[in-house]
């Protein structure tokens, strides 16, 4: 095998194998102290709430903790504790504020639509020629992380307003949709009920 080809094969292998691997999510009853439990690559969401009203589970917490676990091995076990519930979004009374926003086609996928399966960032080519990010979904597979311009509704809303503005609370809602898009696409029903931030995200636009 020519040396150059060997290098390419090696590089590809490293880029695939250095990814920790995506968790596969499902539901099962756990202790009320925990939101979820990671067991190897199996992530179990607690299907047996309720907790008291002051406590809750968030998807962000689970994903953040998951990303901090350096290497998932078949024996890795981790419990995600229930946390005090944060206050809902507070715009300080400024929720009628508008921000400037102009839809930019350059930030949308060059090919295909979301959810778009991927293996490496290069699979997530944008119209402008840059690459997006290839992130874990919760079904064990990777998907391209959309930019806000690829979220349904953003284009229409920015076009509706001749001055290219959008209500601040709509902006926050779309931004959240971007952050949660890849994860929530593949969540089971019990997770949507349990995770307050997913529930919030799944709400219709304010
Ligand atoms: C999109 O990219 C093209 C080519 O680089 C550029 O001319 C154009 O201004 C970009 N559009 C926006 C809205 O930034």
In 3D space, the residue among 73, 49, 76, 68 whose CA is nearest the CA of residue 196 turns out to be 49
Q: Which two tokens stand for residue 76?
A: 């890795």
Tell me, using a 6 A CB cutoff, whether residue 164 lines ligand 1.
no
Position 203 scores a pLDDT of 66
Lowest mean pLDDT among 5-9, 39-43, 100-104, 123-127: 5-9
Kindly tell me if the per-residue pLDDT of 168 is higher than 90: no
Per-residue pLDDT for 142 more than 70?
A: yes
Pocket test for ligand 1, best of 105, 126, 128 (most atoms within 8 A of CB): 128
Cα of 38 from ligand 1 centre, angstroms = 44
- For a ligand 1 pocket test, name from 103, 106, 125, 149 the mutation site with the most ligand atoms within 8 angstroms of its C-beta: 106
Q: Please report, for the chain, the start and end positions of each structural domain, with discontinuous segments joined by +.
A: 3-84, 94-187
Most confident of 71-80, 109-118, 164-173, 181-190: 109-118
Q: How does strand 42-46 pair with strand 24-28?
A: parallel
The fraction of the chain above a pLDDT of 90, given in percent, is 20
């Amino acid at each position: 095998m020519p040396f150059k080809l060997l290098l390419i094969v090696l590089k590809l292998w490293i880029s695939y194998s250095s990814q920790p691997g995506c968790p596969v999510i499902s539901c099962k009853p756990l202790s009320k102290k925990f939101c979820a439990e990671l067991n190897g690559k199996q992530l179990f969401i607690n299907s047996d709430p309720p907790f008291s009203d002051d406590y809750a589970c968030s998807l962000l917490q689970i994903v953040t903790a998951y990303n901090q676990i350096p290497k998932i091995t078949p024996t890795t076990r981790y419990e995600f504790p229930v946390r005090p519930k944060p206050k809902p979004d507070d715009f300080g009374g400024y929720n009628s504020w508008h921000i400037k926003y102009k839809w930019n086609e350059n930030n949308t996928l060059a090919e295909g639509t979301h959810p778009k399966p991927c293996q490496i960032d290069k699979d997530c080519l944008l119209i402008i020629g840059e690459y997006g990010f290839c992130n874990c979904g919760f079904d064990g597979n990777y998907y391209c992380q959309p930019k806000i311009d690829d979220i349904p509704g953003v284009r229409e809303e920015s076009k509706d307003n001749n001055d290219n503005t959008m209500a601040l609370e709509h902006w926050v809602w779309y931004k959240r949709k971007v952050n949660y898009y890849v994860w929530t696409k593949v969540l089971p029903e019990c997770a949507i009920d349990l995770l307050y931030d997913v529930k919030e995200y799944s709400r219709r636009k304010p």
